Amino acid sequence: MKWSVDIQGTLSPLKILGAFFQKPNTIAYPTVKKATATGYRGFHTNLLTDCIGCANCQDVCMNNAIDMVKTDQEYNAKNASQCIPRIDYGRCCWCSLCTDVCPPDSLKLEDDYINVTKYASDFLYMPKNKE
Ligand code: SF4
Ligand code: SF4
């Protein structure tokens, strides 16, 4: 009986070592954040010094994703209802109708999009108070 060694077959698994010297195909999140496209619709922000509490955003939302809630943050003196919108991200489809009908343009969608949580209640989102 004659023995032979399959050199190529034996060494081929070692080719994987070359991967150590290649550029990774993944993103090193969270140290690197993937850039979003221009006009990307991420989470809402609402500049409370401009929001007048009119509830236009709530009225136009076809998914009933917005309810108006009282706030203890500093708000616009013209906000007669003393309420600001809260978004239910279990319902929102990021259509942006709510931002389109906001008279002072205080409600916006920004490029922030990562929200990891194990609590269902965290899907009720208070837009960040941001310009
Ligand atoms: S983006 Fe659309 S679905 Fe989401 S809260 Fe605004 S109007 Fe409602
Ligand atoms: S965010 Fe805009 S549309 Fe909604 S209550 Fe405030 S001012 Fe009105």
> pLDDT by residue (tens digit) across 58-86?
999 999 999 999 988 899 999 999 999 99
- 46 Cβ closer than 6 Å to some ligand 2 atom: yes
Domain that holds residue 33: 28-125
CA of residue 25 to ligand 2 center, whole Å: 42
Ligand 2 atom at shortest distance from the alpha carbon of 58: 4
- The answer to the question of residue 58 being in a domain is yes
- The answer to the question of residue 9 being in a domain is no
- The answer to the question of residue 8 being in a domain is no
**Domains of the chain: total:** 1
DSSP string, the chain: ------HHHHHGGGGGGGGGGSPPSS--TTTS-PPPPTT---SEEE-TTT-----HHHHH-TT--EEEEE--S---TT-TT-EEEEEETTT-----HHHHT-TT--EEE-S------S-GGGGEEPPB---
pLDDT of residue 24: 86
- The answer to the question of residue 62 being in a domain is yes
Query: What mean pLDDT, rounded, does the chain reach?
Result: 92
Entry pTM: 0.81
CATH number at residue 54: 3.30.70.3270
CA of residue 37 to ligand 2 center, whole Å: 26
What is the mean pLDDT of the segment spanning 14-40? 88
- The answer to the question of residue 38 being in a domain is yes
**Which ligand has the shortest distance to the CA of 41?**
1
pLDDT of residue 9: 85
Asked whether the predicted pLDDT for residue 1 surpasses 80, the reply is no
